[in-house]
Structure 1
Amino acid sequence: MNLKPRIGLSFDGQCEAAFKFYERSLNGKIELMLRWGESPMAKDAPAEWGGRILHARLAIGDTELLGGDALPGSYESPRGFSILLDPKDPGEAERLFNALAENGTVRMPLQETFWSPRFGVVSDQFGIPWTINYEKPE
């Protein structure tokens, strides 16, 4: 079995802004940004949902980040997980950390630990938790 988990994120009306931020910060490419108002379900959804994102897809390397805006009143802040990024060099670790920390909250500064020359934890400006973990090649 070749199972490849993908990450799906929920936002409180900020999915489009978040994915544009991730496209820049993670050197990704937005492949899809489908609004409720453009979907086959538009006629069944309240008009105020029209601009909200039903489904977004961002290609990052050989994986995808998926997302959408939660239905109004149903959004819950992220908790109990972190998206782990494994940069290939210390410079890329610093670039990723600093980009994701822009207007976000640093939980653990990017620093050397006993297991990693560059490790840090940040919640971005949209409340999504990220862990940067550069492992020196052996």
Structure 2
Amino acid sequence: MLVQPYLSFNGRCDEAVKFYQSAIGAEVQMLMRFKEAPDQSMVPPGSADKVMHVSLRIGDSLVMASDGGCSGTAAFSGISLSLTAADDAEADRLFAALADGGQVTMPLAKTFFASKFGMVTDRFGLNWMVMTGQQG
């Protein structure tokens, strides 16, 4: 069994994809726009060029997303994505990149369970936890 997150950016998916490519090295595996849907009667008005589906490879994981209904504000309440960095320097870089235009909710610091751990809400309202592996 495999569980994969599916995020809805409500009209800001292209912007989010570009941000995650730059900030954390996300790679687009597949991208389909609403104008490519075989049944155009199901396409929200004015959203032909919006993202119907995108698959992003982030490290060893696949995260999927879309513009959803292309209206309103994205709401990611109650969920966080967790990034495990190879070392403290990578954790620092990832955290700073995700915090750009966002809000730090817990500064990146040493904890009892990791040499670095912190939480940030990015510019799209998505919550992230960044950490290095467990301490020995």
Common fold, TM-score beyond 0.5?
yes
SS at match of 2:25: coil
The residue that corresponds to 1:97 in the other structure is 95
Q: Distance in 1 between matches of 2:39 and 2:18?
A: 24
Partner amino acid, structure 2, of 1:96: L
Aligned-residue offset at 1:136 = 4.4
Deviations 1:112-137 (A, max 9, x none): 11222111000110110000121246
The residue that corresponds to 1:69 in the other structure is 67
Unpaired runs of 5+ in structure 1? none
Q: Distance in 2 between matches of 1:30 and 1:112?
A: 33
From 71, 83, 86, the equivalent of 1:85 is 83
The residue that corresponds to 2:8 in the other structure is 10
Does structure 1 conserve the Cα–Cα contact (< 8 Å) formed by 2:74 and 2:125? no
Does structure 2 conserve the Cα–Cα contact (< 8 Å) formed by 1:89 and 1:136? no
Partner amino acid, structure 2, of 1:30: V
2:35 corresponds to 1:37: yes
Instruction: Let me know the Cα RMSD of the aligned residues.
Output: 1.7
SS at match of 2:15: helix
Normalising by structure 1, we get a TM-score of: 0.89
Q: Distance in 1 between matches of 2:37 and 2:109?
A: 45
Identity %: 33
SS at match of 2:85: coil
Q: Distance in 1 between matches of 2:70 and 2:134?
A: 44
Unpaired runs of 5+ in structure 2? none
Aligned-residue offset at 1:4 = 2.3
The residue that corresponds to 2:105 in the other structure is 107
Normalising by structure 2, we get a TM-score of: 0.90
Partner amino acid, structure 2, of 1:23: Q
Aligned-residue offset at 1:35 = 1.0
List 4+ stretches of structure 1 deviating above 2 A: 41-47, 72-76, 135-138
Aligned-residue offset at 1:32 = 1.7
